[in-house]
């Protein structure tokens, strides 16, 4: 549980954001004040099959309690020069446990609001509990609709259909042709008052800071009013469905869910949502969620005190990224609120999100799905909204594929499954790279792997401005060749296990090890250069060199490994992750902010990435003279970071990046898959 007293909190309520997800790639998110600051904020952001992709359907509710002629508001809006309602907010406490909960107080009134998305259905439940107050009041709910792609903004237009249809305890509206209708229903008798009206120029200050359009118009179809008594509760259910269809909670017997190990339906699977009582649906979803912590507690064995609390929070956060798309494809969401499914991110995150946390079946399904999209030895960089693989333009995805299988095998020991599902793909990938494939990816006479030309960005440091890579890394990149060496050694290990001597690489592996050290090692600095190209070695101090130490098979000798860790610790380690470039470098950028071009220019030029704490921790433990002392030091480092950060930006999760300079302000996505995943994996490595 995470509890924030907003009166005592050092952060402002508009700086902290909450997130609730639905297992399909959809989500609900806003600030603690429920005053949107991003275009991506919304109370019902659904990942639709048709039209494909994430759409902000219900942007927000203006919810209030009317008592004795006075109205108390539980959300806020920012218009040009106006914050409505004015005055101090009523929010006194935020709690994140089973779902996000908000506690409001005004005089004798105490209202608790809870927000929950029903897993795999996309249905939204908003519960109001009037725990203290006068005998009765009137709860007023004004739904503001956006109905647009989550990267865009809505504006008044003549195409919106404002007609509403009264249903039992609620209403139905289908604003646009080709878009799903929304169904609003309350758990008690309510009154819907149609009052179609556009509200203009809601302002999103984070978008202004990021250099994007930042004002939007939202449509109000009407007002829902319902009486609520002290000690009573009300649940609002919002669900969507295509014209002529009613949304349905998927059955656990559905193959696409079953193959991921999702077998618990909470007792309501297969029922039509619009025929389901909101209270019964709430109770069933709460019961399903309360069974999960018992499983997490088993994984957390070996942790105690604050480490246990933090580790359980990481596991909870990690579950938000493993999804089943509306088309039935198992996937990893790279980050909320704006990233989709990315190949590289998936493969880095998968061990921590799935294999380390006992979600083996889901991990196998995702790896199998990725395997099916291999083309010419390359795996897709990302998938479109409908699940189509796109942009086969990475050099590291296939190498990270080997690494993910390596972790799967370490945790499960299931060599039979590797032999049947992944071994043929692994051999096919290596064959393609030995023969040279797209983007000039292939090996030279020294066994080193080269990739790309000027103008291409094939590694994880792939930011471009005006189509030009900010961090040019074509040629021979250090982490790519460390991953290549590890992949070949792992393949040799499996070939021995499987009785397949053709894949032992008896000559290539020693050659590659020698060439790697001759090419990248800088004796006078005691570290590895970053990229070798056209006979020149880029001597910038970057974290990529860590992979030559952290991976199970290292091409370096122990003294060289220690030199790499020492250099990275001295130049790049910060309280919240690793810088992407040494501050001593003239190209260093210490602030990740500004418009898109300014942010991209700093993205890999000093900006801190927390996911790199995973390989740093592995490398530090490998070279430590006193391993237990190093473990304790790392535990303290990560504990101090997460104690403050879990209540700093995206509550309960880990941000994508941080400024390189103190105080290391968080930036990017508020919840990033590989940030969470690598900290889960690191914590398990540090377990006592």
CATH of domain 2-247: 2.70.98
Average pLDDT of the residues in 426-435: 90
pTM: 0.93
**Which residue is listed with tokens 């070949």?**
488
The conformation of residue 422, written as its DSSP 8-state character, comes to I
- At residue 269 the predicted structure's pLDDT band, cuts being 50, 70 and 90, is very low
Distance CA 277, CA 271 (A): 11
Q: What is the pLDDT of residue 9?
A: 64
The conformation of residue 425, written as its DSSP 8-state character, comes to H
pLDDT of 254 over the 60 cut = no
pLDDT of 587 over the 80 cut = yes
Buried-state track 596-612, b at ≥16 Cβ within 10 A, e below 16:
eebbbbbbbbbbbbbbb
Of residues 277, 329, 263, 310, the one with CA closest to residue 119: 263
Q: What is the pLDDT of residue 383?
A: 83
Distance CA 571, CA 581 (A): 8
- CB 615, CB 634: distance < 8 Å: no
Q: 76-85, 120-129, 267-276, 387-396 — which is least confidently predicted?
A: 267-276
Other CB atoms closer than 10 Å to residue 553's CB: what's the count? 18
What are the pLDDT digits (tens) for 623-669?
999 999 999 999 999 999 999 999 999 999 999 999 999 999 999 99
The percentage of residues in the chain with a pLDDT greater than 90, rounded to a whole number, is: 82
Distance CA 164, CA 173 (A): 5
pLDDT of 244 over the 50 cut = no
The percentage of residues in the chain with a pLDDT greater than 70, rounded to a whole number, is: 94
- The residues that bridge with 56 in the sheet, in sequence order, are 45, 148
Q: What is the pLDDT of residue 270?
A: 42
Q: What is the pLDDT of residue 382?
A: 81
Of residues 239, 243, 6, the one with CA closest to residue 118: 239
Other CB atoms closer than 10 Å to residue 652's CB: what's the count? 21
Distances 474 to 460, 482, 510, 604 between C-alpha atoms, Å: 12, 15, 24, 15
What are the pLDDT digits (tens) for 446-461?
999 999 888 888 999 9
The structural domains of the chain, with segments of one domain joined by +, span 2-247, 444-568
What are the pLDDT digits (tens) for 8-54?
765 565 689 999 999 999 999 999 999 999 999 999 999 999 899 99
Of residues 361, 366, 359, the one with CA closest to residue 328: 366
CB-based contacts of 423, cutoff 8 Å, min separation 6? 494, 498
pLDDT of 266 over the 50 cut = no
**Which residue is listed with tokens 């801190």?**
608
**Peptide bond preceding 344 in cis form (omega within 30 of 0):** no
Q: What is the pLDDT of residue 273?
A: 58
Other CB atoms closer than 10 Å to residue 501's CB: what's the count? 10
SS (H, E, C) 471-530: CCCCEEEHHHHHHHHHHHHHHHHHHHHHCCHHHCCCCHHHHHHHHHHHHHEECCCCEECC
Average pLDDT of the residues in 227-238: 96
What are the pLDDT digits (tens) for 327-382?
889 999 999 999 999 999 999 999 999 999 999 999 999 999 999 998 888 888 88
Greatest distance between any 2 Cα atoms in the chain: 86
Q: 115-124, 308-317, 390-399 — which is least confidently predicted?
A: 390-399
Q: Which tokens go with 617? A: 């921790």
The conformation of residue 329, written as its DSSP 8-state character, comes to -
pLDDT of 251 over the 50 cut = no
What are the pLDDT digits (tens) for 676-686?
999 999 999 99
Name the strand (E) or helix (H) holding 236: strand 233-240
Average pLDDT of the residues in 514-523: 98
| H helix runs in 372-477, sequence order | 397-412, 415-417, 423-435
Q: What is the pLDDT of residue 258?
A: 39
Tell how far CA 61 is from the center of its chain: 25
Q: Which tokens go with 57? A: 């359907």
**Which residue is listed with tokens 């009013």?**
225
Distances 596 to 335, 586, 605, 607, 665 between C-alpha atoms, Å: 18, 22, 15, 14, 17
- CB 541, CB 556: distance < 8 Å: no
pLDDT of 264 over the 60 cut = no
């Amino acid at each position: 549980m995470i509890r924030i007293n907003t009166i005592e909190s050092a952060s402002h309520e508009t700086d902290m954001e909450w997130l609730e997800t639905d297992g399909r790639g959809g989500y609900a998110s806003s600030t603690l004040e429920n005053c949107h600051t991003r275009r991506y904020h919304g109370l019902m952001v659904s990942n639709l099959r048709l039209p494909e992709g994430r759409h902000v359907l219900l942007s927000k509710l203006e919810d209030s309690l009317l008592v004795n002629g006075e109205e108390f508001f539980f959300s806020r809006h920012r218009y040009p020069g106006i914050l409505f309602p004015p005055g101090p907010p009523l929010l006194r406490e935020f709690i994140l446990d089973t779902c996000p909960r908000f506690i409001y107080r005004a005089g004798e009134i105490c209202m608790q609001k809870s927000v929950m998305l029903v897993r795999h259905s996309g249905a939204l439940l908003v519960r109001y509990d009037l725990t203290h107050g006068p005998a009765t009041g009137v709860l007023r709910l004004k739904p503001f609709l956006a109905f647009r792609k989550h990267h865009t903004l809505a504006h008044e237009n003549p195409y919106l259909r404002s007609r509403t249809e009264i249903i039992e305890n609620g209403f139905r509206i289908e604003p646009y042709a080709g878009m799903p209708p929304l169904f609003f229903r309350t758990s008690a008798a309510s009154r819907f008052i149609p009052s179609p009206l556009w509200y203009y120029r809601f302002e999103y200050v984070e978008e202004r800071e990021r250099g994007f359009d930042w004002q939007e118009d939202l449509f109000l179809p009407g007002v829902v009013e319902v009486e609520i008594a002290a000690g009573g509760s009300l649940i609002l259910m919002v669900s969507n469905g295509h014209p002529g269809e009613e949304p349905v909670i998927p059955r656990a017997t559905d193959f696409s869910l079953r193959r991921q190990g999702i077998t618990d339906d909470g007792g309501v699977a297969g029922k039509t949502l619009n025929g389901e009582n909101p209270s019964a649906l709430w109770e069933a979803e709460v019961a399903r969620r309360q069974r999960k912590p018992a499983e997490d507690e088993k994984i957390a064995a070996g942790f105690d005190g604050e480490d246990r609390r933090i580790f359980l929070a990481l596991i909870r956060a990690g579950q938000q990224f493993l999804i089943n798309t509306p088309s039935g494809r198992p996937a990893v969401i790279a980050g909320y609120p704006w990233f989709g499914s990315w190949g590289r991110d998936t493969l880095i995150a998968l061990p921590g999100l799935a294999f380390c946390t006992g979600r083996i079946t889901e991990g196998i399904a995702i790896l199998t799905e990725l395997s099916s999209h291999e083309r010419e030895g390359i795996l897709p960089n990302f998938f479109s909204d409908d699940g189509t693989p796109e942009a086969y333009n990475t050099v590291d995805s296939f190498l990270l594929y080997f690494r993910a299988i390596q972790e799967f095998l370490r945790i499960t020991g299931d060599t039979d499954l590797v032999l049947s599902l992944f071994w043929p793909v692994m051999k096919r990938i290596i064959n393609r790279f030995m023969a040279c494939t797209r983007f000039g990816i292939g090996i030279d006479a020294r066994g080193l792997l080269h990739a790309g030309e000027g103008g291409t960005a094939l590694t994880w440091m792939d930011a471009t401005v005006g189509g030009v890579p900010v961090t040019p890394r074509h040629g021979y990149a250090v982490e790519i060749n460390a991953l290549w060496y590890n992949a070949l050694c792992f393949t040799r290990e499996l070939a021995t296990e499987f009785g397949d001597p053709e894949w032992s690489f008896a000559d290539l592996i020693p050659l590659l090890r020698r060439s790697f050290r001759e090419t990248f090692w800088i004796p006078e600095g005691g570290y590895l250069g970053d990229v070798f190209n056209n006979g020149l070695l880029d001597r910038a101090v970057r974290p990529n060199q860590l992979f030559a130490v952290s991976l199970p098979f290292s091409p370096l000798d122990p003294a060289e490994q220690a030199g790499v860790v020492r250099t990275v610790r001295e130049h790049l380690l910060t309280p919240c992750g690793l810088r992407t470039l040494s501050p001593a470098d003239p190209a260093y950028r210490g602030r990740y902010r500004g418009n898109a071009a300014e942010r991209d220019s700093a993205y890999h030029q000093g900006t801190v990435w927390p996911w790199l704490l995973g390989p740093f921790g592995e490398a530090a433990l490998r070279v430590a003279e006193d391993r237990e002392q190093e473990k304790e030091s790392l535990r303290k480092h990560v504990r101090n970071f997460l104690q403050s950060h879990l209540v700093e930006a995206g509550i309960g999760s880990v941000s994508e990046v941080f400024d390189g300079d103190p105080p290391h302000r968080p930036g990017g996505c508020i919840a990033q898959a590989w940030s969470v995943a690598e900290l889960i994996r690191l914590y398990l490595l540090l377990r006592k």
